Chain A
Amino acid sequence: MDIIHILFWCLSALALFAAIMVLVSKNPVHSVLWLIVVFFAISGHYILLNAQFLAIVNLIVYAGAIMVLFLFVIMLMNLNAEADPQKNSWMKIIGVVTGGLLLTMLVSAARSSSDIASKTATLKVGDIGLIQNLGKTLFTDYAVPFEISSVLFLSAMVGAVVIGKKD
Chain B
Amino acid sequence: MNAIIVSAVWGVIMMFCSFLVKNRGSYRHIAAFGLLTLLVANILNVKGILLFDIDDHNMLHFSNFGLYFNSIAIFSTLVYVLLTGKEMEKYGKYAAEYFTLIFFVLCGVSVLSAYNNMLMLFIGIEILSIPLYILTGSDKKNLKSNEAALKYFLMGAFSTGLMLMGIALMYGGTGSFQLEIVRAAGKANGTVLSFLEVTGLLFLFVSMAFKVSAAPFHFWTPDVYDGAPTVFTSFMATVVKAAGFIAFIKLCEVRMVETGLDIDKTFGVNWQLLFAILIIATLLVGNITAVFQQSVKRMLAYSSIAQAGFMLFALFSLNDLAKEGILVYSVAYSLATIGIFAVLVKMKDFTFEGFNGLAKKQPVLAAACTIFLLSLAGIPLTAGFFAKYYMLASVIKTGSYTWLVIIAVLFAAVSVYYYFRVIQAMYFKDGEASTEEITPSFKTGLVLLSALIILVGVMPSLVLNYFYF
Q: What is A's interface to B at a CB cutoff of 8 Å? A: 105-106, 108-110, 112-113, 116, 140-145, 148-149, 151-152, 154-156, 158-159, 161-163, 167
Name 15 interchain pairs, CB-CB below 8 A, sorted by A.
Answer: A106-B199, A110-B196, A112-B194, A113-B194, A148-B123, A151-B11, A151-B108, A152-B126, A158-B97, A158-B131, A159-B101, A159-B133, A161-B97, A162-B101, A167-B140
Total interface residues on B, using CB and 8 Å? 43
Cβ-neighbour of A144 out of B11, B57, B93, B127 (below 8 A): B57
**Residue of A whose beta carbon sits closest to that of B12:** A154
The reply to whether the CB of B280 lies closer than 8 angstroms to some CB of chain A is no
In the bound complex, do residue A154 and residue B138 qualify as a contact, i.e. CB atoms below 8 Å apart? Answer: no
Given that A151-B107, A154-B11, A158-B15 are contacting pairs, would A145 and B100 also be in contact in the complex, using a CB cutoff of 8 Å?
Answer: no
4 more CB-based (< 8 A) A-B contacts, given A109-B199, A144-B54, A162-B101: A105-B202, A148-B107, A148-B120, A155-B134
**Residue of A whose beta carbon sits closest to that of B98:** A162
With both chains docked as a complex, state the minimum distance between the C-beta of B114 and any C-beta of chain A, in angstroms.
11
In the bound complex, do residue A152 and residue B123 qualify as a contact, i.e. CB atoms below 8 Å apart? Answer: yes
In the bound assembly, the distance between CA atoms of A154 and B105 in angstroms comes to 12
In the bound complex, do residue B12 and residue A116 qualify as a contact, i.e. CB atoms below 8 Å apart? Answer: no
Q: Interface SS of chain A: helix, strand, loop or mixed?
A: helix
Cβ-neighbour of A145 out of B59, B196, B198 (below 8 A): B59
In the bound complex, do residue A148 and residue B134 qualify as a contact, i.e. CB atoms below 8 Å apart? Answer: no
In the bound assembly, the distance between CA atoms of A148 and B114 in angstroms comes to 13
In the bound complex, do residue B92 and residue A145 qualify as a contact, i.e. CB atoms below 8 Å apart? Answer: no
| Residues of chain B in range 168-197 having any CB-CB distance to chain A below 8 Å | 169, 172-173, 194-196
Q: What is B's interface to A at a CB cutoff of 8 Å? A: 4, 8, 11-12, 15, 54, 56-57, 59-60, 92-94, 97-98, 100-101, 104, 107-108, 111, 117, 119-120, 123, 126-127, 130-131, 133-134, 137-138, 140, 169, 172-173, 194-196, 198-199, 202
In the bound complex, do residue B101 and residue A145 qualify as a contact, i.e. CB atoms below 8 Å apart? Answer: no
In the bound assembly, the distance between CA atoms of A106 and B173 in angstroms comes to 13
Cβ-neighbour of B196 out of A109, A141, A151, A163 (below 8 A): A109
In the bound complex, do residue A148 and residue B127 qualify as a contact, i.e. CB atoms below 8 Å apart? Answer: yes
In the bound complex, do residue A162 and residue B92 qualify as a contact, i.e. CB atoms below 8 Å apart? Answer: yes
**Residue of A whose beta carbon sits closest to that of B138:** A162
**Residue of A whose beta carbon sits closest to that of B165:** A106
Cβ-neighbour of A163 out of B54, B119, B140, B194 (below 8 A): B140
Contact residues in A for B104 (Cβ distance below 8 Å) = 151, 154-155, 158
In the bound assembly, the distance between CA atoms of A145 and B100 in angstroms comes to 20
